[in-house]
Amino acid sequence: MDQKIRTLSKYIAILLDICVMLVAYAIANLLRFSHVRIHIMTDADYAVFFWFVIIAYIAVQLFFRTNIDFLTRDKAREAFLVLKQYVIVFACVMTFFYVMKLGSNFSRLHMGYFFVISIIGTYIGHLLLKEILRRKYMTTYAEKLVLISDSLHAGDVLKELRKINYLNVEYITLIDKNMTGQDIDGVPVVADMDSMEDVIKNIPVDGAFIHISKADEDIKKIMEWLHPMGIKIHLDIQEYGYEFGKKQFGYMGIYGVLTYANYEYVIRDVVIKRIMDILGGILLFIAMCITLPFVAAGIALQSPGPIFFKQTRIGRNGRRFQIYKFRSMYMDAEERKAELMAKNEMGSDYMFKIKDDPRIFPVGRIIRKLSIDELPQAINIIKGDMSLVGTRPPTESEFEMYNPYHRRRVSIKPGLTGLWQVSGRSSITDFDEIVKLDCEYIDNWNLRLDIKIIMKTVWVVLFSKGAE
């Protein structure tokens, strides 16, 4: 399971439990005393009871970790663990009251109401929270998987994986027969063993779940295809000695798996990065609104047509999105691109750039020089398609030509700026060097690196170093 989501859901569940206990305390007061004695800080007797319950609950979480598998457990296990956690808390409270001889100060009926309401409320709250998280995560953050299995087991494995809230099995690859074009329980079969590498390279997936009982060399061969793409690999077999990135043992439903990933980020840093993106995106959006009248006037004078340029780009792990820019080229720019490919300075078709591009009109050249044309990407950043810092998103045609190593560039969310831009900005013309710098960023990402890149970006933009 994705460690970030597991950790976040655990803490949300703990916060929910505390809120449920607060509500249960108020309802217990109402039922027992016919009014709500919610002033727990000033009501000395019951303040002791309530706060000791909270302390005992936190201790249970630390020692018994009853919310560790919060997202993955079924309703029966949920009921068992909720009951278990409150039985332990109740035992701790009773022991404390017995030792401190405080039992006579409290209404046992009040305690009974409190624990019964807490158990029922927590169970219902957990089910509702999991459904909310499931819907939010499945639509926005769910890990898109390709299932690699054989025709005999694929259906059963798919059934089990569908029970897991944080996964979407989007595609199936069969290693023992060619069923391409067919589907298994509504999920399309997209490749067999022979076509697997080429197909997976071009479909938007975050991870691969491998469930096969073939020889070690066959499994290793598949992993050697997948790893350079930056795809997370979940291996449902006994532990093997393969060295592919960072390795972690865990469970996906009923399957014990080894997860191989190029990177594993700390949830706290990911949340802070998203906050930085939103704040930075808002500032960029304000800057876009300020410059919009002037840019619009310049575009209207020199190249009548839309102010904004919109194009499909490739985001994290092959996801398509619409990128926004101020238009800096004539309306027929895309049609003329084929004529200019021979002058491409990148030395390959993976990226396209030429000096003094004739498709750019004069005002467009100015806004490119000042990087003003990039400001509308504030919309992409706020929406979550992009980040302030990341790897630059390729076009669909460029992405189709990528080999597995190149595909690793899109294993993270694309960014407005990145390591290769500030290392030489657009003066770098070797695509392999760009990929190398992008992979260096992916492997070594931290908040300090992002801040450093943002500061360098401001510097090179202000002094127009390397801008084209």
The predicted pLDDT at position 89 comes to: 92
pLDDT, residue 327, reads 94
**pLDDT the model gives residue 2:** 55
Query: Which residue bears the tokens 């009248």?
Result: 293
Q: Which of 21-30, 218-227, 272-281: highest mean pLDDT?
A: 272-281
What are the tens digits of pLDDT across the range 299-308?
999 999 999 9
Question: Lowest-confidence range among 139-143, 158-162, 336-340, 381-385?
Answer: 139-143
What is the percentage of the chain residues whose pLDDT exceeds 70?
87
Q: What pLDDT, on the 0 to 100 scale, is given for residue 221?
A: 84
Average pLDDT over residues 279-304: 94
What confidence score (pLDDT) does residue 353 get? 78
pLDDT of residue 239: 45
Q: Is the pLDDT of residue 70 over 90?
A: no
Residues ≥6 apart with Cβ < 8 Å to 212 = 148, 149, 150, 153, 175, 218, 219, 237
CA-CA-CA-CA torsion sign (340, 345, 348, 349):
negative
Query: What is the pLDDT, as a whole number, of residue 424?
Result: 63
User: CA separation (Å) from 56 to 145, 255, 381?
Assistant: 40, 33, 42
Residues 6+ apart with CB under 8 A from 43: 37
Structure tokens at 287: 């800057």
Is residue 41 over pLDDT 50?
no
More confident residue, 158 or 333: 158
Token pair of 330, please?
Answer: 């004539």
Distance (Å, whole) CA 284 – CA 100? 60
Confidence class for position 241, pLDDT limits 50, 70, 90:
low
What pLDDT, in 10s, does the model give residues 382-404? 999 999 999 999 999 889 888 88
- Determine what percent of the chain is predicted with pLDDT higher than 90: 39
Higher pLDDT, 428 or 312: 312
Whether the pLDDT of residue 204 is over 70: the answer is: yes
Residue 459 has pLDDT above 60, yes or no: yes
Give the range with max mean pLDDT: 27-31, 327-331, 333-337.
Answer: 327-331
Q: Which range is least confidently modeled, 49-58, 246-255, 317-326?
A: 246-255
Cβ–Cβ contacts within 10 Å for residue 324, how many?
20
Rounded Cα distance, 90 and 404, in Å:
56
Give the residue with greater pLDDT, 216 vs 283.
283
Least Cα distance to 330 among 310, 356, 296, 304 occurs for 304
Lowest mean pLDDT among 63-77, 322-336, 369-383, 438-452: 63-77
Write down the pTM of the prediction.
0.63
Q: Where are the domains of the chain?
A: 3-139, 142-261, 267-462
Domain 142-261: CATH superfamily is: NAD(P)-binding Rossmann-like Domain (3.40.50.720)
pLDDT bucket at 328, cuts 50 / 70 / 90: very high
How many whole angstroms separate alpha carbon 121 and alpha carbon 118?
A: 5
Average of per-residue pLDDT across 340-346: 75
